[in-house]
Amino acid sequence: MDQWLIGHVRPVVDSVVYSVLGAVVLYVIFRVFARMMPFSISKEIVEDQNVGLGIILGAIILGLSLIISAAIRG
């Protein structure tokens, strides 16, 4: 019973650890990217209603997520 439990709990724990790690890496990269911009991203999206910037940021986040996922999987 213990071997069965260990065999089924380990993949779940690994998934949680890698998910948190991936989310932290994505957050850090996004913050660095936001600091490099010569303008305020939140002001452009919220106040100026810049839909194009929102679409570009969404694409950047998706691309980074795919890269992080591929790096974690190996």
pLDDT per residue as tens, the chain (74 positions): 678 777 888 888 888 898 898 889 889 988 998 899 898 888 888 899 999 999 999 998 899 889 888 887 76
Q: How many domains does the chain have?
A: 1
Please list, in sequence order, all residues whose beta carbon lies within 8 angstroms of the beta carbon of residue 45, skipping any fewer than 6 positions away.
53, 54, 57
Burial class of residue 13 (count of CB atoms within 10 Å of its CB; 0-12, 13-18, 19+): exposed
Quote the domain boundaries for residue 46: 2-73
**Would you call 40 helix, strand, or coil by DSSP?**
coil
Confidence at residue 6, expressed as pLDDT on a 0 to 100 scale: 77
- The pLDDT of residue 74: 66
Helices marked H in the chain: 2-36, 41-42, 51-73
